[in-house]
Chains A and B, each alone.
Chain A
């Protein structure tokens, strides 16, 4: 069977895939948070179709249906490695005012899901000024 579509529904704050909290998630505070940086996986292919996009993972050969905000984050992570605060700042611009308080949770879930899907990888921990 085709492992094709997993949706990340950022705009509503809902994820169709349940992401378990715990190991692998990014701590809200502390040294580990400071050092976590992410970058898009090498060779991913993105097909943009209006508000949605299909992303192809060249390692797993899976394709994923993502909404516009999720794709924007993926593109952001392709430019240079980013920490979660960068992603939170980026999402804060796209989320409605009422949702902005949840920006960190959105970013955390999204990065974790991207990691699970192999669309981003976490760089080796290193101190990073500004994050």
Chain B
């Protein structure tokens, strides 16, 4: 049964009890919560996911709970426990989703050492991936979302999950965190997109999450081969500029941007080397989202033909 089709009361009970299990592709997570109405938010953002009630073990278990103490009387807060440990400052009770999403990111990044984890958006078309590695604020999530809404399959907005044995990319499918102006940009770009509530005054400004599509969720175990690496940067002064990046430089930038390259040592080096060798690499500066999507589509088609 999908999360969206679940009875809301039963879902709330599940969150209070054994937890809601979700399969993200490369990892499984379990969410527990006593936060009021979280089940409704999860039905919006994770509605296409199946309720994984047959699993006993999960890669990550997180729990959102109302914070105790006197503060709860005048400024109620929610705190996040990752495998029973509090790792973050609490958030206001009415904005649990950013805390949940960032907490899950943190947990996945710090625990999944069986894969090379690049900090990158990843989309796929014709079995070949486009990696979009970038620093925060570069427009990575906006571009990843736009590609996912224009016929590319979303693998992840945050993690380029590289399998060490063959350097194939695995999905780590989660809602895409859109920030500030990007929320309206994507809402205009694809009016059919399912975007969750806006959470204001987070440390990244206003945040809202784009729900993954059903077809992408159902393909969360389909791997894809690396083909294109695009380092994106949103730049209002440039309509579109695509410059080749030497592979050795791309390797360096990806390694620096990785969550666990250093920990993996030679395995990480070999896996990243294969990804880069199989890819052509570009630096993209763009203002217009439609033109950027068009240019990336064209480049990927050329790479696939080649």
Are A and B subunits of one complex?
Answer: yes
The residues of A with any CB-CB pair to B shorter than 8 Å are 2, 4-5, 45, 47, 49-54, 56, 58, 61, 63, 65
Instruction: Report B82 CB to chain A, min CB distance, Å.
Output: 24
Query: Does B246 sit at the interface, judged by CB under 8 A?
Result: yes
Beta-carbon contact of B248 and A52 below 8 Å: yes
Most buried by B among A5, A51, A63, A65: A63
Q: Which has the most chain A C-beta neighbours within 10 Å: B251, B255, B276, B277? A: B251
Contact A4 B246 (CB under 8 A): no
Do A54 and B251 form a contact, CB below 8 Å, given A47-B277, A49-B276?
Answer: yes
A5 and B265 CA atoms in complex are apart in Å by 15
Determine whether the beta carbon of B247 is less than 8 Å from that of A50: yes
Query: Assuming A2-B255, A47-B277, is B248 touching A65 (CB within 8 A)?
Result: yes
**Other-chain contact of A4, B247, B255, B270 (Cβ < 8 Å):** B255
B107 to A: closest C-beta gap in Å? 21
Residue of B nearest to A55 (CB): B269
Q: Is B90 positioned at the interface, with any CB of A under 8 Å from its CB?
A: no
Q: A2-B256, A4-B252, A61-B265 are in contact. List 6 more A-B contacts (CB 8 A).
A: A2-B261, A47-B277, A54-B273, A61-B266, A63-B252, A65-B251
Q: Which residue of A lies closest to B252 (CB)?
A: A5
A49 touches B246 (CB 8 A): yes
Interface of B is mostly: helix
Q: Classify chain B's interface size.
A: 10 to 19
| A-B CB pair tally, cutoff 8 Å | 53
Q: How far, in Å, is A49 (CB) from chain B's closest CB?
A: 4
> Given the interface contacts A50-B246, A52-B246, does A65 sit within 8 Å of B276 by beta carbon?
no
Interface string of B267-279 (1 = CB under 8 A from A): 0011001001100
For A45, what are the chain B residues with a Cβ–Cβ distance below 8 Å? 266, 269-270
Q: Which of A50, A53, A61 has the most CB of B within 10 A?
A: A61
Alpha-carbon distance between A58 and B270 when the two chains are bound, in angstroms: 12
CA distance A2 to B247 in the complex (A): 18
Q: A4-B256, A49-B276, A56-B269 are in contact. Are A61 and B249 (CB under 8 A)?
A: no
Q: Using CB atoms and an 8 Å cutoff, list the residues of chain B in contact with chain A.
A: 246-249, 251-252, 255-256, 258, 261-262, 265-266, 269-270, 273, 276-277
| Contact of A47 with B262 in the complex, beta carbons under 8 Å | no
Q: How far is the CA of A51 from the CA of B189 in the complex (A)?
A: 41
Contacts of A58 in B (CB 8 A): 265-266
CB distance from B292 to the nearest CB of A (A): 26
- Measured CB to CB, the closest approach of chain A to B79, in angstroms, equals 29
Contact B251 A47 (CB under 8 A): yes
Q: Could you say which residues of chain A place their CB within 8 Å of the CB of B248?
A: 47, 49-50, 52-54, 65
Closest B-chain residue to A43, C-beta based?
B266
How far apart sit A54 and B258, CA to CA, in the bound complex (Å)? 16
* Cα separation A65 to B258 with both chains bound (whole Å): 17
Measured between alpha carbons, how far is A52 from B255 in the docked complex, in Å?
16
Q: Separation in Å of the A74 CB from the closest CB of chain B? A: 14
What are the residues of chain A within 8 A of B251 when measuring CB–CB?
47, 49, 54, 63, 65
- Find chain B residues with CB under 8 A from A4 CB: 252, 255-256
Distance, CA A52 to CA B247, complexed state (A): 8
Residue of B nearest to A48 (CB): B248
Residues of B within 8 A of A61 (CB): 262, 265-266
Contact status A49-B256, CB under 8 Å: no
Top 8 A-B pairs ranked by shortest CB distance?
A52-B248, A49-B247, A49-B248, A47-B273, A61-B265, A56-B269, A5-B252, A2-B256
Q: What are 15 A-to-B residue pairs whose CB atoms are below 8 Å?
A: A2-B258, A2-B262, A4-B255, A45-B266, A49-B247, A49-B251, A52-B246, A54-B248, A54-B252, A54-B269, A54-B273, A58-B266, A61-B266, A63-B255, A65-B252
